[in-house]
């Protein structure tokens, strides 16, 4: 909820991080689960600016947050988001992709998307619109685990998408 999100952001700031977040809502499909809810953390020593939230008025629970990070004069847009596993590339997920494309100027700005995509990396090849190609983006999966989904079928549903210009700078991707 919003109060918990504010508390986590406050704790993160006390420990030397800037934090942006959007609260989750209880799941209608699961007694214990949530939908949405994303937080992004960056070190305070970096030059960080929150991204304009007006640009992504999305229906439903917190699904997208982001920050612009500037390191040694280089700009990187960092997004954290939550995708709905029921609609793959339609509905709210299509809106998320559209907002990311808009904020990155169709991939002309460097970006990194950290997400619970709720579908496997192979799903991108089934997407009729070449979103990854249009934004000159690639996927990166965690190397320290063989799955990130702990219920049902064990699959990797949490991974990164980044500009192909940024990919060589990412040495490793870890999942916790």
Instruction: Note the pLDDT tens digit of each residue in 37-57.
Output: 566 666 666 666 766 554 444
Tokens of 24: 């989750």
**Helix, strand counts (H, E) of the chain:** 3, 8
pTM of the model as a whole: 0.75
Q: Please name the helix (run of DSSP H) or strand (run of DSSP E) that holds residue 101, with its range, or none.
A: helix 91-103
Q: Please name the helix (run of DSSP H) or strand (run of DSSP E) that holds residue 23, with its range, or none.
A: strand 17-26
Phi, psi of 116 (to 5 degrees): -95, 90
**Contact present, 156 and 116 (Cβ < 8 Å):** no
Give the C-alpha separation, 96 to 129, whole Å.
Answer: 14
For the chain (176 residues), the mean pLDDT of every run of 10, in chain order, is 74 75 63 60 65 51 75 85 77 86 93 86 80 92 76 76 93 81
Tokens of 161: 């998408």
**Contact present, 160 and 171 (Cβ < 8 Å):** no
């Amino acid at each position: 909820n919003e109060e918990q999100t504010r508390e986590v952001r406050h704790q993160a700031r006390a420990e030397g991080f800037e934090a942006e977040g959007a609260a989750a809502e209880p799941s209608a499909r699961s007694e214990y689960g949530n939908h949405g809810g994303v937080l992004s953390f960056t070190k305070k020593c970096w030059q960080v600016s929150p991204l304009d939230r007006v640009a992504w008025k999305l229906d439903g629970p917190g699904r997208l947050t982001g920050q612009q990070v500037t390191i040694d004069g280089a700009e990187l847009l960092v997004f954290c988001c939550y995708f709905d596993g029921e609609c793959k590339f339609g509905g709210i997920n299509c809106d998320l992709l559209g907002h990311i494309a808009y904020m990155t100027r169709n991939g002309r700005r460097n970006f990194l998307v950290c997400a619970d995509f709720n579908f496997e990396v192979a799903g991108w090849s089934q997407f009729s619109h070449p979103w990854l190609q249009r934004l000159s983006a690639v996927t990166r999966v965690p190397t320290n685990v063989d799955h990130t989904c702990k219920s049902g079928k064990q699959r990797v549903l949490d991974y990164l998408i980044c500009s192909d210009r940024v990919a060589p700078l990412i040495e490793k991707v870890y999942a916790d």
